Amino acid sequence: MQKVSINKFGAFFFVLIIASFAQLNLKAAVGWSPELILATLVISAFYSSVLEMAALCAFGILILNWQPFPGWEILLFFFLPFIVVSVKNIFPWRGMVNGVLGAVLSVVVFYALSDWGAIVSNPAVFAKILALTAIFSAALIQILNYFYKTN
C-alpha cells in the first residue's frame, strides 16, 4: 500500500479548489468554461495514489453536485481519471503529452456521453473548451513536475 503524502494531497486539494472557483466563475461570467475540475483530477491522477484520487474525485463531485444521489454524468466524472491513469501505459509518449492528451480525451468522452448536443450545436465553443483545457493541463503539469514525480 502506498503511503499517503499529506503535503501532496493538500497541494492537489488546493489546486482543485482554485480550479473549481475559476471554472464556476468563468461559467457564470461567460456562459461556458473549460473543464478545469476534470482536467485537474486527470492530471493529479498521474501523481497520486488510488486513495488520494478517490478523495479528490469525491470532493470534485461534491463541488459540482449537491444532490443526495449523483446522476450518471457525475459517476462518469468520478471514474474518468481512474480510466485515464489505467491506460496511460498504452500511450507511448512522455508524461506531459500523456497528461494533456488524457485530459482532453476525458473531456471529449465526458461531453460525448453526457451532452452530445453541446458538441454538435456549437462546435466552436467546444473547440475553445478543448483548447483552454489543454493549455490549463499543460501549465498544471509543468507546475506539478517541478515539485512532484509522476507515479
Q: Over the stretch 24-51, which tens digit does the pLDDT of each residue have?
A: 899 889 888 888 999 999 999 888 888 8
Burial annotation 89-99 (CB, 10 A radius, 16+ → b, else e): eeeeeebbebb
Domain range annotation of the chain: 6-147
Could you tell me the CA-to-CA distances from 14 to 3, 8, 18, 123 in Å, in that order? 20, 10, 6, 32
73-86: average pLDDT: 84
Which comes out higher in pLDDT, residue 59 or 1? 59
Cell of 121: 450545436
- CA 94, 95, 97 angle in degrees (round to 5)? 70
Task: Look at residue 132 in the predicted model and tell me its pLDDT.
Answer: 94
Which comes out higher in pLDDT, residue 142 or 150? 142
Strands (E), 59-132: none
Chain segment 62-75, per-residue pLDDT in tens = 887 766 676 778 88
Task: Look at residue 151 in the predicted model and tell me its pLDDT.
Answer: 66
Task: Look at residue 4 in the predicted model and tell me its pLDDT.
Answer: 57
* 149 pLDDT higher than 70: yes
